[in-house]
Amino acid sequence: QQQTRQVENCQPILGNGAPFPVTSSARGGTEPASCTEARSVLLTALNQQATTVEGWRCVIDLTAQAVGVCKSGGRTIQAASPS
């Protein structure tokens, strides 16, 4: 059985003047986080190098393709490195 995965592309967040593309996705019929929430959580996580933000568990790695990834239940939000 196919897991449906909803993905929403959000406005980028700015870090050091560079745009970091943001995506919000969910699987198993869960609604993705709103872009507003996704951008807010990712900005906080990146600015404070935080591992938990408002119930989201985050991994920050500024050298990776995805500089910030936060998960909450079946929902995932992600900031990619500027292309």
Q: How far apart are CA 14 and CA 5, in angstroms?
A: 26
β-strands 18-27, 5-15 pairing: antiparallel
Q: How far apart are CA 58 and CA 53, in angstroms?
A: 7
**One-letter identity of residue 39:** R
At 1 the pLDDT is 47
pLDDT-derived band at 2, boundaries 50, 70, 90: low
pLDDT of 16-68, one tens digit each?
788 999 999 999 888 999 999 999 999 999 999 999 999 999 999 989 999 99
